[in-house]
Each structure stands twice: as structure tokens, then as C-alpha cells.
Amino acid sequence: MSETIQIKTLTPLWTGDIDGKCSRIKETGVIGSLRWWYEELMKASGEDICNPTADNSEERCDKENGDICQVCRLFGCTGQKKKFGLRISGDFTDSTFVKYHYPNRPNKESNWYLKPGKLSTNHSIFELWDIFENYDNIGLIISLFGFLSENAGIGAKTQFGYGIIEPTVIDYELELLKRRLGEIKENKKIFFLKLNFDISETAMSEIFDETRNWGVCKSNGYLPTSPYFRYLLRESLREKSDINKSQRHNLMGKLNSTNSNLKVSHIYKNKKDSWEMRVWGNVPPANSDIRVWIKTLKDITFWEDKTVTELKVKENPKFKWLEEVLE
Ligand SMILES: [Zn+2]
């Protein structure tokens, strides 16, 4: 069985090369992000999932004994082939290089830049097929794809705004993923947030001194705002006396590091032609102060207090825990 998905990128896609660039969209990078999500979802539903990169062989699946976890069964591990193939074809074009300068900040933290990822043209195709004829996993992968296109992102650097896609030709049944996952046992751990904005013509120049190339992004249907909102969220955490530095780093990563449990998309134009942004993340269950903070994000006043008036949040954000998304 094989299926073809046609996609439109809403923000640039990123899969990294060895030299830190994104010369093309690599299948391995996309599969890596699908695997990461499948692991998280499976763990949330109470499955015992291995750690395929662990040094300690005890933590990895043991092919010899036939002891293979649900993720390795689908995505493969040493000695075990993955059950599906993916080929990405069609045209992508480079997104523009973006440089930021935050006003009123010390020099070392004031400059940011976003490297060019890839934007789809009209014919960006993801083709999926079953490698073993007696398995039918394509529906499940497409279901996962659909779930991520609605709620999160794909590829790498999603914490920095990359990877929001919209399938233009795809028939996915969320039911297939729901059935595989069953009941979510780790309740209130993974959350998804969507905000809608009214954006004035001058919004970008109000936020940043450096406004070069913003027009190009806007004409491509997105505003490269992820670093700005990450900064606002980080500052908000810093102001909370009950949240310490290590808790903040756990959620947001250290400044300029790539590790972050909280992902913030750029602002992009959604299907309804409205400016939208996604925030999603993993909240450690034991971390009650962070959980209290996360709840404040549901309220429009949190955002109104922080954003400039030219970048106006329209209504209370839509907030869902994983189990509500899969309801
Ligand atoms: Zn495994």
C-alpha cells in the first residue's frame, strides 16, 4: 500500500545538515520527528518504550529475545527494519534569512537570527509506503501526520518556529492513532495552545529595530516571531519567584540552547486566513509551580499584558491537554 500527501508549509520546514544548514528536506529528519512524537504519545498512554540511543543496552530493545517495543516495531531499531518508507519530492524554495535586534537589551542577547529553512511550492509531495506487504501501518503514520499538522509541527527546530504544515491533499483518520494509543494515562502532561492575532502594518517595527526581510516573510504567509515570544515567556518565568532557574531551563532550555520542552511557532496564516500561533509542550507532572504558570497562558490577559498593541491577541487562546485533543 502507498499513499501520497501533498503539503503546504505554513512556516519554513527544517531538517539539519552536518554543517548546520538545511540544504534540502531530508526524509530522515522528518521520520525522526514522527518517531519522537510517537514515543511521547505511546509513553503518555502508558506503554513501556525503550531508549534507542541509550549506552546501556538494558534500556534498548532486545531483538534477540524478540522483546521489541511498539515504537521500534514501527520505526525500527538495530536489526529491525522500519515498517514504512518515506520519500519527499517536489519543489521547495529557501525561506529568507531573518535577523533580529531587540531594543533595550544588553548586547550579547540582543541579536538573533533565523537561518533559511524550506518553504513548499505547489508540488511538495510526501509519499509513504508499507515495506512489508503483510503490514498496514501507512494509515497510522498518516494519522500521526494529521495530528501533528493540526496541533504541533514536524521536522527539527520546532521550538524556534519552524515546521508548521498544512496538508492540502490528505485523508487522515485521527481514529487510527486514537485506537492505537488507547486511554491516555499520563494526564495533563502534554498541552497544546493556539492563539489568534490582529496584526497591524507597523507591528514588526514596533517589536524589533531590525525589520529587514520581514516583508518577505509576511508575503510568504508567516511572521518570524518565535524568538520574540520565547523571550516573553522566558521573562515571565523569570519574574515568578516560586520558579527557579533549573525549572525554567527545563521548560525553555538555556539561552541559545536547542533543548526546550516548550515549542513556540511563528505567527502564520491559517486555513481561515487568520494570523495564528501555536505553543505546545511537556509539563513535568511533579512540577506544580510550572503547571500553575502554564494555566495562566490560557487567559488572554497574560498575552495582552506582554504583547505590543500592534500585535493584538483576539480572544482567549484555545488550550487543550493531549487527552482532550484525542477525545
Ligand atoms: Zn524499542
Of 125, 183, 132, 118, nearest to 1 by C-alpha is 132
**What's the start-to-end Cα distance of the chain, in Å?**
28
Residue with grid cell 525549572, as numbered in its chain: 247
CA-CA distance, 189 to 284, in Å (whole number)? 7
Distance 21 CA to ligand 1 centre (A): 30
pTM of the full structure: 0.92
* Predicted local confidence at residue 135, as pLDDT: 67
- State the cell numbers at 103: 531594543
* Predicted local confidence at residue 306, as pLDDT: 80
Residue with grid cell 496564516, as numbered in its chain: 269
Tell me which H or E stretch contains 70: helix 70-75
3-class SS of residue 245: helix
* Predicted local confidence at residue 121, as pLDDT: 87
Distance 132 CA to ligand 1 centre (A): 19
Which structural domain, as residue segments, surrounds residue 114?
2-325
Distance 166 CA to ligand 1 centre (A): 30
Distance 36 CA to ligand 1 centre (A): 12
Of 156, 164, 237, nearest to 194 by C-alpha is 164
Distance 40 CA to ligand 1 centre (A): 13
Tell me which H or E stretch contains 32: helix 27-44
Number of domains making up the chain: 1
Distance 252 CA to ligand 1 centre (A): 28
Length of the chain: 327
Residue 317 Cα distances to 137, 266, 271, angstroms: 34, 15, 17
CATH number at 303 reads 3.30.70.1900
Q: What is the pLDDT along the chain (327 residues), one digit of tens a residue?
A: 788 989 999 999 999 998 889 999 999 999 999 999 999 999 999 999 998 888 888 888 877 777 899 999 999 988 888 999 999 998 899 999 887 766 555 555 567 788 999 999 877 889 999 888 766 789 899 999 999 999 999 999 999 999 999 988 777 889 999 999 999 998 889 999 999 999 887 777 766 665 567 788 888 999 998 988 988 898 899 999 888 888 888 888 876 666 788 999 999 999 899 999 999 998 877 778 888 999 999 999 999 888 777 788 999 999 999 999 998
Distance 55 CA to ligand 1 centre (A): 14
Distance 139 CA to ligand 1 centre (A): 21
